[in-house]
Structure 1
Amino acid sequence: MPTAPALLSRLKNNDDPDALVLFRMAELGADLSVPHRPEFTFDASTQPVAMALANELAGLDFDVQVFAPEDSEPTWQVVASRRMVLDLDAVIELSAKFEALAATHGAVYDGWGAPVER
């Protein structure tokens, strides 16, 4: 079942970055009423910061991966994911929560993305 027209209209006319991502996903055929596995990404300057952030995210019931710096990515990356329905209000709330969480650890919340589920 494709995404409901009323939700598409709400997303299309919304300039919130999370709404824009959801609208693009729906344009690609995502059914936003079914669970997806979004990945929420953070950049940390040091391994201790990355690990502290990862531990806190794991405590919030997210699956967490930590990636060491590479030539193309000079910071530690922390990626948190879990299966969930991509409700606009829930995603906006998580983004705000993650921005605050990143700030308390001296890291940067870099946003999210998800594979399209149909």
Structure 2
Amino acid sequence: MMHTMFTFLSRKVEQKLKDTEAVYRDELINRKKSSESSKKVKKSVRFADSEPSIFGEQKKEKGKETIRVKVKMTKEEAARLLSKCKEGGVLEFKDVARELVTLPLNRVRVVSSLHQP
């Protein structure tokens, strides 16, 4: 009787040992990074050509002149900016300029090739 009880208990322990798998810290970090990158959303906004830009007045022979600007903003700031969109995502320059002025300088970066630091 003791022998059967001992074999029964040893099988339970063996089954528990087979089910466990080692989880390494590096694997957990990589999984978290991959899930965060898939949640990122890229949004783009086009500006209406209603007002000429500063650089566009000087170089009329090239046609359209654009200045690329990268901006980091909170969800609330982005929602306020995108709420002014008309005609399928076109923003007026004056609306964008007002929003950019309210942002701290460390979150706005000019990327355009026209800009020389």
Same fold judged by TM-score > 0.5?
no
Structure of greater Rg: 2
Bigger relative CO (Cα 8 Å, ≥ 6 apart): 1
The structure with more helix, counted as a fraction of residues = 2
